[in-house]
């Protein structure tokens, strides 16, 4: 019986790793689709279509009961604040996508997990061990190298990505306060409902009628984003966060591969070095946390 239990545990862990890895691939593919779209329409319009697609999926899956439960949820107001920060982060990120390679965009954006560590001290009063602060410094060094002051410098697109990372860091800290208070489908519905409210006005004001290719890309953005979130939630149910955390850095590899496959981008040497430092910082944070829990 013990061997069967161990086998089931291993299968659950493997399933969690596969689901989470697939989720990050889909998120990267979504980013590539949005990068293709932002050359011909506003980010507001893309977010508007994405929200409608995700809300339609929520309605098909959860029906009236899901909407009724959402109205009565205690996180309706906290989610409004969190969604505002998330939307602001996405607006900065995808506007920067017009000017940066996908690999550059993703690498610089990986300042976000490092910023979360700093904000967790300021906003949540968490205690951070010295090794984690070392990881923060290594991560910031990676972002600095990837930006390469002699090449990208502090240009508007780079500042937009850094602003996106900061805003997303705040959204993640706020997520820690609401994640345990409600189930994932309600959070998903509320998040996209607020996105729809925020983006509807500007999207209609600067409306550009999409062609068939753009319509397919818009539909794919909604489908990829929604399915990726579902896979991520399912993966987290099966496997410890300390095991799954390093998989987030697979997004960097997908960004490099997709950028080369779609646009023929060959990232500069500094981007590779920066990505390596950022991954090392993330693994150091995960390893420190895992070792602390074992002690």
The whole-number average pLDDT for the span 77-89 is 88
pLDDT of residue 19: 87
Which segment of 63-72, 199-208, 236-245 scores lowest on mean pLDDT? 236-245
User: Does 149 score more than 80 pLDDT?
Assistant: no
What pLDDT is stored for residue 289 in this prediction?
59
The predicted model gives 3-17 an average pLDDT of 67
Mean pLDDT to the nearest integer, 25-49: 91
Q: Which residue has the higher pLDDT, 57 or 294?
A: 57
Residue 266: CB atoms within 10 Å = 11
How many independent structural domains does the chain possess? 1
Indicate the pTM of the whole model.
0.79
Alpha helical stretches, state H, 184-249: 184-205, 212-238, 241-244
Structural tokens at position 215: 């319509």
Nearest to 31 by CA among 289, 256, 255, 260: 255
Give the tens place of pLDDT for each residue, 175-205: 666 655 677 788 888 888 999 999 999 999 9
Contact partners, residue 8, CB within 8 Å, separation at least 6: none
pLDDT tens digit sequence for 150-163: 566 668 888 898 89
Question: What value does the mean pLDDT of the chain take?
Answer: 81
Domain, as residue range, for 40: 1-292
Kindly tell me the burial class for residue 235, based on how many C-beta atoms sit within 10 Å of its own C-beta (0-12, 13-18, 19 or more): buried
Q: For residue 241, what pLDDT band results from cuts at 50, 70 and 90?
A: low
> What is the band of 292 on the pLDDT scale with cuts at 50, 70, 90?
low
Would you give the distance in Å from CA 198 to the centre of its chain? Answer: 19
Q: Give the pLDDT confidence score for residue 194 in this predicted structure.
A: 93
pLDDT band at 77 (very low <50, low <70, confident <90, very high): confident
Average pLDDT over residues 46-59: 91
Mean pLDDT of 22-48: 91
* DSSP of 66-134: HHHHHHT-TTHHHHHHHHHHHHHHHHHHHHHTTTS-HHHHHHHHTTHHHHHHHHHHHHH-----HHHHH
Report the C-alpha gap between 156 and 93 in whole angstroms. Answer: 11
Reply yes or no on whether the pLDDT at 83 is more than 60: yes
């Amino acid at each position: 019986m013990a061997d069967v239990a161990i086998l089931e545990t291993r299968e659950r862990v493997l399933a969690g790793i596969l689901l989470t890895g697939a989720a990050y691939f889909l998120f990267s593919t979504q980013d590539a689709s949005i990068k293709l779209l932002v050359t011909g329409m506003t980010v507001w319009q893309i977010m508007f279509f994405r929200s409608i697609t995700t809300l339609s999926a929520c309605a098909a899956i959860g029906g009236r009961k899901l909407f009724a439960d959402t109205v009565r949820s205690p996180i309706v107001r906290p989610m409004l604040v969190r969604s505002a920060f998330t939307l602001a982060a996405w607006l900065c990120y995808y506007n920067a996508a017009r000017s940066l390679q996908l690999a550059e965009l993703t690498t610089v954006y990986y300042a976000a997990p490092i910023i979360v560590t700093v904000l967790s001290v300021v906003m949540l009063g968490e205690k951070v061990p010295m090794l984690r602060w070392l990881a923060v410094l290594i991560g910031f060094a990676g972002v600095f190298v990837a930006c390469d002051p002699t090449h990208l410098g502090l240009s508007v697109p780079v500042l937009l990505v850094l602003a996106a990372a900061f805003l997303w860091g705040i959204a993640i800290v706020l997520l820690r306060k609401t994640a345990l208070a409600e189930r994932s489908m309600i959070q998903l519905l509320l998040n996209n409902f607020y996105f729809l409210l925020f983006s509807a006005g500007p999207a209609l004001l600067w409306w550009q009628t999409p062609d068939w290719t753009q319509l397919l890309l818009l539909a794919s953005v909604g489908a990829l984003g929604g399915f990726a979130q579902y896979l991520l939630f399912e993966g987290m149910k099966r496997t410890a966060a300390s095991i799954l955390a390093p998989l987030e850095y697979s997004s960097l590899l997908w960004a490099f591969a997709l950028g080369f496959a779609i646009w023929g981008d060959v990232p500069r040497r500094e981007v590779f070095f920066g990505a390596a430092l950022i991954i090392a910082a993330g693994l150091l944070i995960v390893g420190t946390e895992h070792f602390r829990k074992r002690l």
